[in-house]
Amino acid sequence: MSIKFGRRLAAAAACAVLTATASAQGVPSAHWRSTVTVEGARPGQPLQEAEIWLEGGRMRIEERGKGSEKTNILEADGQVYVWKEGQAAGLRMGADLAARGGRPSHAYVRRLEEIRSRGQKTGVETVDGHPCDVYAFESPQGGKDTYWLARDLRGFPVRAIVERRQVLPFKTSVEVSRVRLDYRNTEIRIPSKVPPERLAVPAGVEFQDATDLISGRPPRR
């Protein structure tokens, strides 16, 4: 796998990764679609459009690109695997490395109890026909987040505005700026039967460790 191709995959992973430290709190299983935009972006220019499956400690994200291109991201056992549909090469990285960059992360759906217990309820609003309890939440990193938890969907968020640090991906931990991401979740099914193959590391894909790619070391087998 070329370094250029590998870095493109790494960037795709950062677009939709999960954090390994996320709590297992929340719904046991779910299936939904999410559109993510950057606050201040032009209308109709989403940062990410994805279909997501969650069950237990694993989450699968299928991110749609231009045309029929699709990028798959799987978080399992503290690792993030990313590969493009129909290709036999992909990247594997620790979730701590993948989570850098201020890009979309859907890990907040695992932290619903924490959001309720540590957040501040600010009111009740209706979003897409769902009556929601609105919570303001300050993350440990100092981000100012807002969550709309749907009463008729077991408190699943139908909208979330999440503020995160934006750093130079894979190069430095120095903060550059903050980015506010607006998540709109639709077609939510809770609970949802998730096909086991959706949450399994694909056997037909060879994964290179991202730290080898970044450091220039020969791939580990």
Rounded to whole angstroms, the Cα distance separating 114 from 197 reads 30
Report which of 45, 85, 86 is spatially closest to residue 63, judged by C-alpha positions: 85
Query: Is 160 inside any structural domain?
Result: yes
pTM: 0.79
Backbone angles phi, psi at 213, to 5 degrees: -65, -45
Query: Is 175 inside any structural domain?
Result: yes
Per-residue confidence (pLDDT) for residue 67, from 0 to 100: 62
The tens digit of pLDDT for each residue in 188-201 reads: 999 999 999 999 99
Query: Is 18 inside any structural domain?
Result: yes
pLDDT at residue 110 greater than cutoff 50: yes
Alpha helices in 57-141 (DSSP H): 95-98, 112-118
Q: Write out the two tokens for 81.
A: 């695997």
Task: Enter the DSSP assignment of 107.
Answer: G
| CATH number for the domain that contains residue 36 | 2.50.20.10
Query: Is 117 inside any structural domain?
Result: yes
* Total number of domains constituting the chain: 1
Domain boundaries, position 144? 3-215
Query: Is 221 inside any structural domain?
Result: no
Query: Is 220 inside any structural domain?
Result: no
Pick from 11-15, 19-23, 205-209: least confident: 19-23
